[in-house]
Amino acid sequence: MLSNMIRRYIVMLGGILIMGLGVSLFRFSGMGNDPVTAMNFAASDRSGISLSIIMIASNSLWFCLEYLFGRKQIGVGTFVNWFAVGPLITFFSAWLASHWPAPQAFFSRLMVMGGGVLILSLATSLYQTADLGVSPYDSVSIVLAEQTPIPYFWCRIFTDSFCTAVTFFLGGTLGLGTLVCSLGLGPFIAFFTRHVVRRLCGMRGFKAGEDDDQTDRLRH
């Protein structure tokens, strides 16, 4: 049991680490990020405050809702996500910018975004399958689904739409990457969970009928 718990902690930390790279690749492609990260980037660009500070502050607001209505979702992974993802994105974004020129051609940008899709999907699968706490933002749609008769999918669409609207209002970057993150990561996350991550965590593969539920739940 102790060995299994240690494996889950390693999987969770690995997921958070490469999540920073995946998000940075989306940013580097110039095709838009997932809605909540796009909102944080827009707030950072508009205010001049560093992304790390903006993400910690916004996570603090989401955490208030998680603490009040979804306390069972809180775990070590909640706090690691809360305080580590912003600095990791800042680090990887600076690293990419210093080592490669920003892609200009549409195909090059699409390839960079494709790399971001795979890495972010793997990162999300690692982080969420470890089951050591839900990030403050992700908990909001779960809480809404538990507190209302509205299915989780539509609760997630609502929270992502809210962030997209704020990003647009702040003049942030929205694009194909935003759409892919909002609607298209689920199958990739389910694939990594089924074939890679559950084995790393010492779990068996999906049981019959779990795929659809995992696809709905395991989205960044």
- In this structure, what token pair is assigned to residue 109? 């940008």
pLDDT digits (tens, 9 = 90+) for 16-47: 999 999 999 999 999 999 999 999 999 999 99
Q: How far apart are CA 42 and CA 120, in angstroms?
A: 20
pLDDT digits (tens, 9 = 90+) for 96-131: 999 999 999 999 999 999 999 999 999 989 998 899
Backbone φ and ψ for 66, nearest 5 degrees, come out as -65, -40
DSSP 171: T
The confidence band for 204, taking pLDDT boundaries of 50, 70 and 90, is low
Indicate the burial class of 113 (C-beta count within 10 angstroms; 0-12, 13-18, 19 or more). buried
In contact, 176 and 114? CB cutoff 8 Å: no
Direct distance between the N- and C-terminal alpha carbons of the chain, in angstroms, rounded to an integer = 28
Q: CA angle at residue 49 from 44 to 53, to 5 degrees?
A: 90
Domains of the chain: which residue ranges? 2-217
* Cβ burial 164-198 (10 Å sphere, 16+ → b, else e): bebbeebebbbbbbbebbbeebbebbbbbbbeebb
Q: How far apart are CA 90 and CA 190, in angstroms?
A: 28
